[in-house]
């Protein structure tokens, strides 16, 4: 992965833990629940660039229409950037990037996707993913299913789940 080109296209650096996750797994779904967005995915729904643009437009329209911004986004220069979504719920996982903070200091925002509810998690994406998959994440919205045991976790590549690429 040409991370310099990816970051240049997004206009921001990305957290090292995310880059390691993508370099290790590529695009796909963890435990049939959390889809990882990756740069230059063959599937628009899983493409980091496509989803960043789409979610950015959707959120801008909602906020312009009067929906309340989540805590942390009222600060000038703060932004959200999606990194994953939850299967079947419409929920997205975002980084909360704040001015003067390095990407390694970004935290996770969970948005229910079909409503105005946001939930902040004071951790990076890999720590959140680990907590979500092991059932230790403290969330009113995320999950609800039984967490797999240590030997029960799986990752399925997007091509094995979605079939032939869209593009």
Domain map of the chain by residue range? Answer: 3-137
> Which is nearest to 104 in space by CA: 15, 41, 19?
15
CATH fold for the domain made of 3-137: SMI1/KNR4-like (3.40.1580)
Q: How confident is the model at residue 164 (pLDDT cuts 50, 70, 90)?
A: confident
- Token pair listed for 32: 């049939």
How far CA 14 is from CA of 18, 36, 41, 64, 147, in Å, comes to 7, 14, 17, 27, 28
The pLDDT of residue 90 is: 83
Q: How confident is the model at residue 167 (pLDDT cuts 50, 70, 90)?
A: low
Which has more confidence, 159 or 14?
Answer: 14
154-157: long-range contacts at Cβ-Cβ below 8 A with a sequence spacing of 24 or more?
A: 154/30, 154/31, 154/32, 155/25, 155/28, 155/29, 155/30, 156/28, 156/29, 156/32, 157/25, 157/26, 157/27, 157/28
71 contacts: CB under 8 Å, gap ≥ 6: 118, 120
- Token pair listed for 147: 């967490």
The pLDDT of residue 166 is: 55
Q: What is the mean pLDDT of residues 97-117?
A: 90
Q: How confident is the model at residue 165 (pLDDT cuts 50, 70, 90)?
A: confident
Mean of the per-residue pLDDT values of the chain: 88
pLDDT digits (tens, 9 = 90+) for 135-147: 888 887 766 555 5
CA distance 97 to 14: 10
Asked whether residue 24 carries a pLDDT value surpassing 90, the answer given is: yes
CA distance 47 to 59: 18
Answer for the pair 45, 63: CB distance below 8 angstroms, yes or no.
Answer: no
The pLDDT of residue 146 is: 52
Q: What is the mean pLDDT of residues 47-73?
A: 91
Asked whether residue 56 carries a pLDDT value surpassing 80, the answer given is: yes
Is the whole model's pTM more than 0.95, yes or no? Answer: no
Which has more confidence, 87 or 7?
Answer: 7
- Token pair listed for 105: 């200091």
Q: What is the mean pLDDT of residues 46-58?
A: 95
- Token pair listed for 122: 């004071």
CA distance 99 to 83: 19
């Amino acid at each position: 992965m040409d991370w310099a080109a990816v970051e240049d296209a997004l206009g921001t650096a990305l957290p090292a833990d995310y880059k390691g996750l993508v370099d290790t797994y590529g695009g796909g779904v963890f435990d049939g629940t959390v889809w990882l967005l990756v740069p230059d995915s063959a599937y628009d729904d899983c493409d980091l660039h496509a989803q960043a643009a789409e979610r950015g437009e959707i959120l801008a329209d909602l906020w312009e229409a009067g929906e309340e911004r989540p805590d942390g986004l009222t600060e000038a220069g703060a932004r959200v950037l999606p990194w994953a979504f939850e299967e079947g719920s419409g929920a997205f996982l975002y980084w909360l990037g704040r001015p003067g903070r390095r990407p390694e200091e970004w935290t996770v925002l969970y948005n229910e996707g079909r409503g105005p509810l946001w939930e902040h998690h004071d951790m990076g994406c890999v720590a959140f993913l680990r907590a979500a998959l092991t059932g230790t994440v403290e969330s009113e919205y995320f999950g609800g299913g039984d967490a797999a045991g240590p030997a029960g976790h799986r990752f399925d590549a997007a091509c094995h789940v979605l079939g032939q690429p869209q593009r």
